[in-house]
Structure 1
Amino acid sequence: KIRRRNRTIASCLSCRQRKLKCDKQVPCGNCQRFQRDCLYIAPALDTAAQQKLAEIKDRLGDLEETLERDVARRAAANSGSERSTVVPKIEAEDDDYDGLSAEDEQDPEPSPLGMFDQVYDNDADDGLMDLGIQLGKLRMSDRVGGLVRPKMSDELNAKLRSASHKSQNLYCQRHGYTDSNASWQPGTASQDAFLSPGPDFIVPSSNLFFPDPVTAYFLPPRHVADRLVAQYLNAVHPVARLVHQPSFERQYNLFWSNLSNGTITPAPIQAILFAAMFSAAVSLSGDAAASFSDMSKHLLVDRLREMTEFMLSRANLLRTTKVDTMQAFIMYMLPLCRTEISRAHSALVGTAIRLAQCMGLHRDGTTFGLSPVDTHVRRLIWYQICYLDVRTCEATGPRPQIRKDEFDTKLPLNVNDTDLLLPSPPTEDLPYWTDMTLSKLKFECFELIRQLWVDMQRMDQKKLTLTSILNRIKKFRATTEAKYSLLVQGNTPKQILAKQMYRASSNRALVVILQRYAVGTNYPMPERLRKLLTEACMGTVEAGIAMETRQELLPWAWYRGAILQYHAAVLLVFEVYSRPEMPEAARIWSSLDWVFETPPQSSPLEKAEGIIMTLRDRLEKYHSVRKLRAT
């Protein structure tokens, strides 16, 4: 037994255990720097307390010796592998993600191949759209899952085993293939096709800031405008809510009344109405547009976009202080920022953030004594800007601009629009499904994603552990499910959409964190985390497919790209390729066949190899033009 002198201890317990010099402050410098609990032992302990403390220290010493022996045995068994100090902690996890102690300073190292920032050579081709490549329904650019992976083609190549030549692969034949020393070979997909923008891409115009006189003022006939507004309220308003519906309908009727009387409607109000019709046109199918308009969908979208931009410039967008103008600007941005996002979109979102902050939208309306409707609209605008900030960050980087501690605007209340017009409007969330439930659930999920971006940086700085972040996600899911489970338990189309949107977003939160440990690391991913990531990827992809294919959700299928991309499908391809006999293989392939449009006659191995080879070749071509530098 160790002899103890029981002298007065002036240092804090943490410094004493680590044999560090303590400055005896409260808290001391060491504890403050490493964010530890700074505890001092009371100077006057009675005999019983001293004996108990000595026993605790002895038991702690025994545990430390046992742990050291266990680590040494594992190190010897693994021939000196450095994994021995990390893997035991991860593999000991239970279903509560408690295997990694939040107090432990050692944490799994993420892949060095995934970065937050990117650098390009000066001779890069800026004439090429920065949208990346298209493969099936997957759009992939410099960023994969929000992180830059400049060596993604090498990572894909490393995954391939003794694959057959791509000219013999049915998937490669269907999507086109290349030889290293030859130009592109004929196939059903050409070089320009997979590098070119898809049908969802809408490029913004400089007319927002440097307006050109429009050749003709375009206003759809009243019957076309009525159909577009009805389409907006049915297909756009539920998923991209930005207006108070009774107020919006009054503005629309007043616009036509002013037109018949020869009165000019203010430019901000016209901008809102044209932005609503533009969004509605984007959400239409080609056949639906032709059913009530003599224009094609493409032409209708283009003309309404031009008119929206013209009205925003007339409303003095860059120097406005009017909430209506900002509302119209964000209504214009939401249909632009979906599946395919360029840096032009990201720059516009950055402009919107600064304009909104200059207008005070980051401060809650109750602070200024505004009416319930005005407060509600300001909250909608601000949280749609927060969503756009996260969405463009994932697509073009580098990080979200808005920080949680820089605004106090509250989430919109879970109320119906008509409730805000009552003599005593509600001041708390209503405990049932309302007009706002779907949008509020979306806002809360994207605020979690925003926090995870901050947490990843803190984790790289050794200020957070992986387990603490996983527990944050688990706590969010438990809280959200307890809050919304009764609200979405029905089977109306909007409630089904809310369930799928939550499933996609909550699983994507796990993918955002765990993807860094799946590919390109120095050691295999621990089995517990691998299963967790695989389940999250399956949930994300399946929810996205449901939002696009379920009959009752078709009115909102146009907005799927704004909620999630299919980047998680790439991880699933790696999984079924390396573990073809896994129990979930059939379930995974049912999703991958839809995402990557695989030929049904191919075997799973051939399909996986074809996807990896085609993706590798297209990324090599894209990176060779973009000149993305790798460290």
Structure 2
Amino acid sequence: MDSELFHPRSQELPNQARESSISPIVRRPSNGHGPLPPRIRRRNRLITSCLECRRRKLKCNKSHPCSNCTKFVRDCVFLAPALDPASQLKLAEIKEKMGSLERTLEDDVARRGRSSSIASIGGLQMSGLSESSDDEPAGPEDEKDLEPTPLAFTDAAYYEDADDDLLDLGVQIGKMRLTERVGGFVRPKFSQEIAYVLNRAEDANGDVRTEFTSPVQPGMTTQEVILPGNEFLTPSSSFFFAPEPQSASFMAYLPSKNVADRLMGHYWASVHQMCRVVHRPSFERQYRFLWRQVQSGIEPPTSFQALFLATMLSAVTSMSEGDVLLQFGVEKKQLVDGFQTGSETALYRANFLRTTKLQTLQALVMYLIPLCRREVTRSHSALCGAAIRLAECMGLHRDGTHYSLEPVEVHVRRIIWYQLCFLDIRTCESTGPRPQIHREDFDTQFPLNVNDEDLESANPPIVDSEKWTDMTMSRLRFEINEMHRFLWMERPRLERKKTTLTAVLSKVQQFINGLDKRFMPMFDKETPVHNMALITYKLLTLRMHVMVLHRYSSNHNRKMPERLRKILLTSGVQQVECAIMIETAPSLRPWSWYCGALHQYHTALLLLSELYATDVRYHEDRIWTCLDYVFEINAQLPRIEKSRLILREVIQKTEIYQSLRRVRAPKELEEHMAETVVSKMRTLSPEMPTAPVASGTGNLQRSAEYRLFNPNIADHAYYAPPHGIHPVPTASTTSPQGSDANGQDFGGQGASLGSSTSPGDLDIDWNEWDKLFPPDLKLNDLVPLPDFQFSTHFHPIPM
């Protein structure tokens, strides 16, 4: 009796049985984790009607032919006699597989629809990123044989006798700073590669070769080579591990209200538009309340103490030394050091390593922004990594809408998270090895493109505004930064043949086209902040294509076609011109302090090497105008002499840094070097004496190695700046082959590293490429550039 109650017999449920037989497809839950569906029950009735009557649902008299087929002159066909049991079982199995396939397709459609709806909220769906990588078309056949260079690596190892007291800032060459990472990749033999390029070009021209027996120029000391620049700010070691880094109270670091008000005004004008971290109306209320507490003798909360002092630090950092001295009567370094120490002390007292307060994390991000600009060390990267982990522990990688928060708090959480995303990419470029944040690990939406005041209205907006707002510049940077993250993750997939070059380039161009459509109508060229946003947009999008293409630039075995090289150089010179424009244009001066975080001038090395080592040169005058500014060299010198001076300085300074930093070269690189040296020796004349070559490590400073070492200079990372270059086809001027404006010859045929007229040498699907970049496309059709005038000491060639 009881068993019948809990286990009813099937004959007692005729309706359920009938429904099961009529609806054979039972859907699983859309998440795919529900119980397996019951076995589909099929009646397998005997079919006696002819096929034509059955298809038309007519009554068949079962004659041969039947009356209906005879009347309408149709072919009367009957099924064969009943199948044997084995055939019936096979037919049932086929039907079961068809049903399973139908359910799988339904689940797949539901899953894609759900992911698409999630990605589209708040603007997360970006052109080129929403498509599944499984839907990518197969790449061209000539992509299958491409291999990454053996001279550049993502990861680095060091010898134990390295100097840990050394700042890992690298060396300063003009306005460019070089470390062991060039273009985001470790290059243990970088100085040897440059020496090879220089010596090979000198041999081709018949010049007297310069042997680098000593890496140090007369009068140059090691400490002078590795000195940090004026913009360098590093976190204090006591910030983490000292029991009490500072015992002074908040009042010891609090400026007068007059000074604080002027600094806050400068913060809103120069920092807030570029690096937004706070909601302005909320912060201003807290700022006024802070001074009321101070006047009442009450110490403000430690979390807001840290945020306030970090805001003061950002404001002072964004000012020039002359402005600080003029307005406050003290040196800028004195104010910066005081506010930095005060910020670190306040963060320590706020227990930032174990906090759950959003304001404390907000203060930490505000503190990191002025530190992580042009000069970034591993200590910056470690602190940024700690901030990312703290943010994840506080749930900032999940959108605030999941927690039913107020619109202002949701907005602030999104801003903080995407500032951390930018700091993640910036520190990764300088110290490696790869971004810590992955796209699939968070679902935080982009902050809405709305004004701060709108979030406190009775009906706060839930969609982006189509006009310029307080948030537009930051939102633009956040979206481009996520595309950079996508390209960081795509480069290993390109190496593993999981995607194709054409597919990645298509996604990049789709993304840029989407940004153009949304943001270009917002810009007003008569407004300086709009011009700054437009130049920043151009500078950051110019990075994208080289992040993909630089691996194939000037490859020794697969040389880049001239049409692609022309695009690369055109984009490179525009990128450097944009960075120089930000630093020199008077209308952009309020935001020029942050240019170092956007561009580090590594592209100038690419331009110089292409001019020096190749015969066909594009935009030569424009490039040299940029090189004179970047490397701070006398513009009146002959160009061939300037090139050699710059390259020799790169060789000498990078070799000094490598000897101090003690980067360990991988075994594969040493083996590749040995094979290359042997190959080079076999090509020497019979009269030249040869020497045995060891396969292990040796003295890297010997001039013999410079003469014999012939690396695969066809390497993406040597020519790769840490930021990509957006190739933009444009009409360009080509200098006469083998000559420059001073009648000097930069190189001969033997020195050519990038010239090739064979499009088949590279893994490019040129049909797809012409769709992305039509041959008749003009530069201004892609990224219109406002007609800025540079400062008096810099005069670029008109674009």
Residue 287 of structure 1: how far off its partner (Å): 1.4
1:212 to 242, 245, 248: 245
Question: Does 1:125 find its partner at 2:156?
Answer: no
TM-score by length of 2: 0.63
CA shift at 1:536, angstroms? 2.3
Q: Distance in 2 between matches of 1:112 and 1:543?
A: 33
User: Is the 8 Å Cα contact of residues 215 and 652 (structure 2) preserved in structure 1?
Assistant: no
Tell me if 1:393 matches 2:431. no
Other-structure match for 2:223 = 192
Alignment of 1:326-345 (within 5 A): 326-345=361-380
Q: 1:107·1:466 contact (CA, 8 Å) conserved in 2?
A: no
1:102 and 2:139 aligned? yes
* Distance in 2 between residues matched to 1:499 and 1:107, nearest whole Å: 40
Task: Name 2:180's counterpart in structure 1.
Answer: 142
- Is contact 1:477–1:506 with CA below 8 Å preserved after alignment? yes
Residue of structure 1 equivalent to 2:383? 348
1:111 offset after TM fit, Å?
2.5
- CA distance in 2 between counterparts of 1:338 and 1:625 reads 24
Cα distance in 2 for partners of 1:399, 1:312 equals 28
**Cα distance between partner residues in 1 of 2:291 and 2:625:** 50
- Which stretch shifts more, 109-118 or 309-318? 109-118
Counterpart in the other structure of 1:376 = 411
CA contact (8 A) 1:279 1:331 kept: yes
Structure 2 counterpart SS, 1:410: coil
CA contact (8 A) 2:314 2:370 kept: yes
Q: 1:295 aligns with which of 317, 320, 330?
A: 330
Residue in structure 1 matched with residue 643 of structure 2 by the alignment? 608
Distance in 1 separating the partners of 2:591 and 2:239: 28
1:185 counterpart letter in structure 2: P
- The 3 A distance-change label for structure 1 pair 182 and 278 is closer
Match of 1:180 in 2: 213
Q: How does 1:145-160 map to 2 (within 5 A)?
A: 145-160=183-198
Give the structure 2 partner of residue 431 of structure 1.
466
Change (3 A) 1:311 1:127: same
TM-superposed deviation, 1:528:
3.0
Shift of residue 519, structure 1, vs aligned partner:
5.0
Shift of 1:596: 0.7
| Bigger mean CA offset, 522-531 vs 444-453 | 522-531
Partner deviation per Cα, 1:587-608 (whole Å, 9 max, x = no partner): 1111111101121221122111
Contact 1:119 1:628 (C-alpha < 8 Å) held by counterparts: yes
Q: Distance in 1 between matches of 2:214 and 2:407?
A: 66
Deviations 1:113-148 (A, max 9, x none): 221111111111222110111000001111111111
Displacement of 1:208? 3.0
* 8 A contact 2:353–2:390 mirrored in 1: yes
Q: 1:430 to 1:476 in 2, by over 3 A?
A: same
Native 8 Å contact 1:225 1:277 kept in 2? yes
Distance in 2 of aligned mates of 1:292 and 1:191: 37
Give the C-alpha shift of residue 478 in structure 1. 0.9
* Partner of residue 31, structure 1: none
The AA in structure 1 aligned to 2:139 is A
Q: Percent identity?
A: 44
Task: Kindly indicate whether the alpha-carbon contact (under 8 Å) linking 1:138 and 1:566 is maintained by their aligned counterparts in 2.
Answer: yes
Alignment root-mean-square deviation, CA: 2.1
Q: Which residue of 2 aligns with 1:72?
A: none
Do the aligned partners of residues 266 and 181 (structure 1) sit closer, same or farther apart at CA in structure 2, a change above 3 Å counting? Answer: closer
More helix by share: 1
Where does residue 57 of structure 1 map in the other structure? none
Superimposed CA distance per residue, residues 460-492 of structure 1 (whole angstroms, 9 cap, x where no aligned partner): 111011221111211111111111110124331
Matches within 5 A, 1:455-466: 455-466=490-501
Cα pair 2:449 2:464 within 8 Å, conserved? yes
Give a deviation string over 1:313-363, Cα, whole Å, max 9, x none. 111101100000000000000100000000000000110111000000001
- 2:305–2:346 CA contact under 8 A, matched in 1: yes
Q: Is the 8 A contact 2:171 2:179 kept in 1?
A: yes
CA distance in 2 between counterparts of 1:517 and 1:120 reads: 28
Question: How many angstroms does 1:107 deviate by?
Answer: 5.3
Q: CA deviation at 1:257?
A: 0.7
Q: Does 1:254 align with 2:289?
A: yes
In structure 2, C-alpha distance between the alignment counterparts of 1:114 and 1:473, rounded to whole Å: 24
Q: Deviations over 1:274-320 (max 9, x none)?
A: 10001111111111111232431101000000111111111110110
Match of 1:203 among 234, 238, 256: 234
Change (3 A) 1:347 1:291: same
In 2, the alpha carbon distance for the partners of 1:505 and 1:107 equals 31
Instruction: Work out the CA distance in 1 between the residues paired with 2:660 and 2:436.
Output: 29
In 2: Cα distance, 1:103 partner to 1:374 partner:
48
SS at 2:521 equivalent = coil
CA gap of 1:133–1:448, structure 2 versus 1, over 3 A, is same
- CA separation in 1, counterparts of 2:215 and 2:176? 26
Rate the CA distance shift 1:604–1:388 in 2: closer, same or farther, 3 A.
same
Change (3 A) 1:161 1:206: closer
Cα deviation, residue 525, structure 1: 2.0
1:343–1:529 Cα change, 3 Å: same
Correspondence for 2:534 among 477, 499, 502: 499
Partner Cα distance (1:592, 1:363) in 2 = 45
Asked if 2 retains the 8 angstrom alpha-carbon contact of 1:268 and 1:311, the reply is yes
Task: Give the C-alpha shift of residue 582 in structure 1.
Answer: 2.2
Larger Rg: 2
Preserved CA contact (<8 Å) 1:537 1:572: yes
Distance 1:260 1:352 in 2: 33
Code of the residue aligned with 2:385 in structure 1: it is G
CA distance in 1, matches of 2:274, 2:494: 33
Whole-angstrom CA distance in 2 between matches of 1:295 and 1:388: 30
Q: Which shifted more, 207-216 or 372-381? A: 207-216
Match of 1:531 among 537, 557, 566: 566
1:478 has 2:516 as partner: no
Alpha-carbon distance between aligned partners in 2 of 1:378 and 1:314, rounded to the nearest angstrom: 22
**Shift in alpha-carbon separation, 1:610–1:591, aligned structure 2, 3 A:** same
> Where does 1:2-151 land on structure 2 (aligned, <5 Å)?
102=139, 104=141, 106=144, 108-151=146-189
Runs of 5+ consecutive residues of structure 2 not aligned to the other structure? 1-96, 99-136, 670-799
Determine the C-alpha separation between the residues in 2 that align with 1:181 and 1:505: 39
| SS of match in other structure, 2:152 | coil
**In structure 1, distance between residues paired with 2:245 and 2:545:** 46
Q: 1:274 aligns with which of 306, 309, 324?
A: 309
- The answer to whether the 8 Å contact 2:216/2:653 transfers is no
SS in 2 for 1:134: strand
Instruction: Please name the residue that 1:562 is paired with.
Output: 597
Structure 1 equivalent of residue 400 of structure 2: 365
**Given the two structures, how large is their TM-score scaled by the length of structure 1?**
0.79
